[in-house]
Structure 1
Amino acid sequence: MPHKKSNLPTKTCPVCGRPFSWRKKWEKVWDEVKYCNDWYREPDVLHFAPIYITFRLLTYIAPYETP
């Protein structure tokens, strides 16, 4: 039976709030995985994360706003 991606466990990244799924490379350390991206593991990034996330939201929302 083929493996279904919809059956994979998921977690939510505490920095960006986006969900991310289990990956084969995390098989042995899945309980320790916290972030969806290596970039978020850097201590300096956590200081700038709110600014980065706000920027991403604004660049996503702005094209859909009506005047």
Structure 2
Amino acid sequence: MSHRKVHLPAKVCVICQRPFTWRKRWASCWDQVRYCSDACRGRRRLSRGQRD
């Protein structure tokens, strides 16, 4: 029997619109997590500058 993490909560990244699942390092701040990766967090800064 393989071990699968099917019961983890998921969200959609606000930058790339891809779904991502809960990670243990986000256990204490899951409500504030908005981005799936550091790359998307970096794109947030770029997209803000282009809008202004």
Tell me, yes or no, whether TM beats 0.5.
yes
Q: TM-score, normalised by structure 2?
A: 0.73
Helix, strand or coil at the partner of 2:20: strand
Higher helix share: 1
1:6 maps onto 2:31 in alignment: no
1:17 maps onto 2:17 in alignment: yes
1:29 maps onto 2:29 in alignment: yes
Higher RCO, Cα 8 Å, sep 6+: 2
Question: After the TM superposition, which parts of structure 1 deviate over 6 Å for at least 4 consecutive aligned residues?
Answer: none
Please report the RMSD computed on the Cα atoms of aligned residues, expressed in angstroms: 1.6
Q: Distance in 1 between matches of 2:7 and 2:39?
A: 26
Runs of 5+ unmatched residues, structure 1: 48-67
Runs of 5+ unmatched residues, structure 2: none
